[in-house]
Structure 1
Amino acid sequence: MSIPSTRINIPIRTDPTSNLGSFELIETTLREGEQFANAFFTTEKKIEIAKALDDFGVDYIELTSPVASEQSRLDCEAICKLNLNAKILTHIRCHMDDARVAVETGVDGVNVVIGTSQFLRQYSHGKDMNYIAQSAVEVIEFVKSKGIEIRFSSEDSFRSDIVDLLNIYRTVDKIGVNRVGIADTVGCANPRQVYDLVKTLKSVVSCDIECHFHIDTGCAIANAYTALEAGAKLIDVSVLGIGERNGITPLGALMARMITADRDYVLSKYKLHKLRDLERLIADSVQVNIPFNNPDPTEERSE
């Protein structure tokens, strides 16, 4: 005797502050991706990539700091002149010299970062939290005076003291940053830690929250999804996940995850049929093969 199959639908419980159906992408192949071993993008290639990303529909394109080199500054200016739909950002240190150069390139916004963990404060810049707060206020107020967007992010957030983090985020939120950033710089965070930190941060700031996850321990996609579920608004991604060490949250893989959460939203914003060409463009540019098990958000899934 055959037993009839029964379809069981298990509802997904989401937080009321969830942004699973209203997230935005900060695409950083032209910043984080430039730290990949084989990433030597010419100006022409950067323009080609920027146009392809814009055509796909990303909300923001992040570029290497214009103080990294004279060529980086010129490339930044060239991409700003393309008049793309995506907003153009550049990523700088929390330092006035960097900020002065960045605002002159024509970018729509500046992403400011400084290390807040004990490790980076001791071995990177050697500054205490009071110095960090003073520098952040000075840079933020200057960038805001130029009428462009500003994000402040801690670096190595998940190994930073929670009291230090919340204090600096409160400070920059009060002076009007557009968003604050959480960075899992060494890829050590797990989804439960991400949920707890985003929820806690959400309770003390009124601005948007951006998250940057490295994939060292394999959790970047799960962490990105969890961050949105907890109330973060923006996720940093790169094509094929290229970046420092073994990279960050991959654009295509995150799309495959998000289309299961809100298919209509994803399809209304992003041209998924352009994704494979975009991945081939980057794979060819950095001389890697597209992984055989690369997630594909365009695949039909049985109901």
Structure 2
Amino acid sequence: MKIELFDTTLRDGTQGEHVTLTADDKIRIARQLDDFGIDVIEGGWPGSNPKDRAFFERARDIEWKHAQICAFGSTRRAGLAPEDDPNLQALLEAQTPVVAIFGKSWTLHARVALGVSLEENLELIASSVAFLKAHGRRVIYDAEHFFDGYQDDPAYALETLRAAAEAGADVLVLCDTNGGTLPSDIYRIVGEVRRQFNVPLGIHTHNDTGCAVANTIMAVAAGAQHVQGTINGIGERCGNADLCAIIPNLQLKMGFTCVPEEKLARLTDLSRFVNEVANLAPIDRAPYVGRSAFAHKGGVHVSAVMKDPRAYEHIPPEKVGNRRRVLVSDLSGKSNIQYKAAELGIELKESEQARQAVQRIKELEHLGYEFQGAEASFELLLRTIQGEDTRFFSLERLRVRTEIDEEGGVCTSEATLVLRVQHERELVVAEGNGPVDALSNALRKALRRFYPDLDQVHLSDYKVRVLNSEGGTAAAVRVLVEHRDSERRWHTVGVSTNILEASWQALADGIRYYLLKRRSQAATSATLASLPQRM
């Protein structure tokens, strides 16, 4: 059976803390949702702000491949006829084929929030739905606070649904607006409603009890055919139901059809795209699409996964566009090292090399190093153990000086660096925005004469973590550095009780890694050039 997917990332999702999307952002995300196979995309509330109106104006000029664009609003205001209601008029002016309107299901909200009688609330619902239907719109009716209302007064909650259904609503969406209902109650109530209505039922849940995904799945099991949610579960308070977990659960575990199989393999990319556009940090532990969803750390786990991934993976990660990762830590065994080495294209010919690598990693992690987020440093370590020369340059001395002019509000940093490069001594001075930036600039300046293409390498991120805060100013720190060029990014780590020394370790490893890759690419190109050319 096909489940209709209704995405509200662009409306309900933007009500989440730290989530802000421009009209351009919304168009970019909507295009990706459409290409992925979402059936209905709720673009916003055109009656509430200019940004949403701008989105709908632009959406009208786009030829959508699959999705229908939906405008969102409320039932009419008490005391206004539907044709005089500004909100309903804004919905029509959005010119979307689908509209979603919410009405009150809970007697508490009708009497207190709206301040109307229960009979008048039913009329607000019926007249609003009928008005929109008369103008040719497909109407999705969101029964706000339905589960709270049903548990308080089931007869009246059902009357609100009946008012919408008899007025022509195409879908009745049962909303767990407060997010406080548990899966067993969702299953029971949706089943009871299903037996009384022939109109398709939908489900809209929030995650205030951590049950939004489970609640959605239980609603579908009880007969709901229309599912609402957001990408990555963003939304107000604790968020909405996460479509990135719901879709694969329904399709891979329960046998429902949500999107074509080849589209499902793009789920991880879609998740990351939305996070990137919304400027949100991805959640590594997110089911299915998180970076850690198929990550293995324990040596016993890795050994089993190498024999048969089903031992510790509930689905092949490729089905949702993710990938398997093996982590390297003090919990690693030889299996981890051998797997990671193979992944990096390094052949550990002798088991002794793997044993040495395991021992060295355990020693370094005891000192505070962590290679899970610094795979470039890990590769350098492996290649060194293998006997490969990864030095490229050596440090003779460095000095960093920072001057602060409080009156002028100026802070300047200057790094002096002396390196040995290709049997030559190189002395340079460079300035920067802070001591680490100055040190990074000096390092690349010292090497530029020998490796001119280092100009395309930049320090793009720098993080410091204090490892033993009880040590005060003598505490060890771990520095994680990200470098990037025009094509990729890589991470390296350094540890010391001196923050500059830790920074130097990470910075130097980052440049060494780039030079290592450059040398490898040059060797590959030379090999290919030496091969006889086919006629």
Deviation readout 1:219-278 (Å, 9 max, x if unpaired): 111111111111111111101100111111111111231133345834536712222222
Tell me: CA distance 1:266–1:141, structure 2 relative to 1, closer, same or farther (3 Å).
closer
- 5 Å-filtered alignment, 1:40-55, equals 40-55=20-35
The residue number in structure 2 matching 1:11 is none
The alpha-carbon deviation at position 285 of structure 1 amounts to 2.9
What amino acid is aligned across from residue 93 of structure 1 in structure 2? S
1:60 equivalent among 31, 40, 51: 40
Once the two structures are TM-superposed, the CA of residue 126 in structure 1 deviates from its matched residue by 1.8
Alignment match of 1:246 (pick from 206, 226, 238): 238
Measure, in 1, the Cα distance between the counterparts of 2:224 and 2:124: 25
Look up the match of 2:89. 100
User: What is the TM-score when the length of structure 2 is the normalising length?
Assistant: 0.50
Counterpart secondary structure, 1:92: strand
Secondary structure of 2:70's counterpart equals strand
Aligned to 2:252, the other structure's residue is in SS state coil
Q: 1:269 to 1:82 in 2, by over 3 A?
A: farther
- CA distance in 1 between counterparts of 2:92 and 2:261 reads 28
For residues 90 and 226 of structure 2, the distance between their equivalents in structure 1, rounded to whole angstroms, comes to 25
- Cα shift readout 1:84-142 (whole Å, capped 9, x = no counterpart): 12011111110132112111211111111023224423442222321111111211111
Counterpart residue number, 1:13:
none
Q: Corresponding residue for 1:117?
A: 106
1:29 aligned residue (9, 28, 37): 9
**Which of 270, 285, 289 is the aligned partner of 2:281?**
289
Higher relative strand content: 2
Counterpart of 1:185 (choices 177, 181, 189) is 177
Task: Please name the residue that 2:141 is paired with.
Answer: 152
Q: Distance between the aligned counterparts of 2:284 and 2:315, measured in 1?
A: 21
2:195 to 181, 190, 203: 203
SS in 1 for 2:253: coil
Counterparts of 2:255 and 2:167, CA distance in 1: 36
Paired position in structure 1 for 2:529? none
Aligned counterpart for 1:126 among listed residues 112, 115, 122: 115
Change (3 A) 1:263 1:173: closer
Paired residue type of 1:139: S
Deviates more, 1:64-73 or 1:259-268: 259-268
Question: Structure 1 pair 144/269, CA: closer, same or farther in 2 (3 Å)?
Answer: farther
Deviates more, 1:274-283 or 1:47-56: 274-283
Q: Which fold has the larger relative contact order, with Cα–Cα distance below 8 Å and residues 6 or more apart in sequence?
A: 1
* Unpaired segments ≥5 residues, structure 1: 1-20
Q: Which residue of 2 aligns with 1:14?
A: none
Secondary structure of the residue that 2:56 maps to in structure 1? helix
Q: Residue 143 of structure 1 contacts residue 150 of structure 1 at CA under 8 Å; is this kept in 2?
A: yes
Any conservation in 1 of the 2:102–2:143 contact (CA below 8 Å)?
Answer: yes
1:87 equivalent to 2:82? Answer no
The equivalent position to 1:140 in structure 2, one of 129, 132, 156, is: 129
Code of the aligned partner of 1:54: D
The DSSP-based 3-state class of the residue aligned with 1:260 is helix
CA, structure 1 residues 136+23, in 2 after alignment: closer, same or farther (shift >3 Å)? same
- Return the match for 1:224 from 183, 207, 216: 216
- One of 228, 239, 248 as aligned partner of 1:236: 228
Could you tell me which amino acid in structure 2 is paired with residue 179 of structure 1? Answer: V
- Aligned pair in 2 of structure 1 residues 263, 289: CA closer, same or farther (>3 Å)? farther
Percent identity reads 26
Q: Secondary structure at the match of 2:175?
A: strand
Among 33, 38, 57, the alignment partner of 2:18 is: 38
2:154 is aligned with 1:162: yes
* Partner amino acid, structure 1, of 2:126: V
Instruction: State the AA in 2 paired with 1:195.
Output: Y
CA distance in 2, matches of 1:113, 1:267: 27
SS in structure 2 of the partner of residue 151 of structure 1: strand
Call closer, same or farther: CA 1:302–1:231 in 2, change over 3 Å.
closer
Q: Distance in 2 between matches of 1:167 and 1:47?
A: 38
Q: Tell me what 2:522 maps to.
A: none
> What is the letter of the counterpart of residue 133 of structure 1?
L
Contact 1:173 1:206 in 2 (8 A): no
Q: Return the alpha-carbon distance in structure 1 between the equivalents of residues 159 and 256 of structure 2.
A: 38
Deviation at 1:66?
0.5
Contact (CA 8 Å) 1:57, 1:269: kept in 2 or not? no
Residues 285 and 212 from structure 1, CA distance in 2 versus in 1: closer, same or farther, beyond 3 angstroms? same
Gaps of 5+ in 2: 77-81, 295-312, 317-535
